[in-house]
Amino acid sequence: MNILIKSAIIVDPSSPFHQQKNDILIEKGIITKISKTIQNPNNYKEIKLENLHISQGWFDSSVCFGEPGLEERETIENGLNTAAKSGFTAVAVNPNTSPAADNKSTIEFIKHKSFGFATNLYPIGNFTKGGQSVDLAELYDMQNSGAIAFGDYNKSISNANLLKIGLQYVQNFDGLVLSFPQDNSIATEGLVNEEINSTKLGLKGIPSLAEELQIARDLFILEYTGGKLHIPTISTENAVKLIKNAKKKGLNVSCSVAAHHLVLTDDELKSFDANTKVLPPLRTLKDTKALIKGLKEGVIDMITSDHNPIDIEHKKVEYYNAKFGTIGLESLFSALNKKIDLDVFIASLTTNPKKRFKIKTETISEGNKADLTLFNPEFEYQFTENNILSTSKNAIFLNKKMNGKVYGIIANNQVVL
Active-site residue numbers? 306
Strand 58-63 with 88-93, pairing: parallel
Alpha carbon distance 105, 141 (integer Å): 9
Strand 176-178 with 192-193, pairing: unpaired
255: β partners:
231
- The torsion angle over the Cα atoms of residues 214, 283, 281 and 397, rounded to 10 degrees, is -140
Alpha carbon distance 57, 410 (integer Å): 8
SS (H, E, C) 267-315: HHHHHCCHHHCCCCCCCCHHHHHHHHHHHHHCCCCEEECCECCCCHHHH
Half-sphere exposure for 195 (CA within 13 Å, toward CB): 18
Closest CA to 84 of 408, 365, 412, 394: 408
Q: What is the DSSP letter of 340?
A: B
327: β partners:
395
- φ/ψ region of 404 (left if φ > 0, alpha if ψ in -120 to 50, else beta) reads left
CA distances from 5 to 2, 21, 42, 240, 381 (A): 10, 11, 14, 40, 25
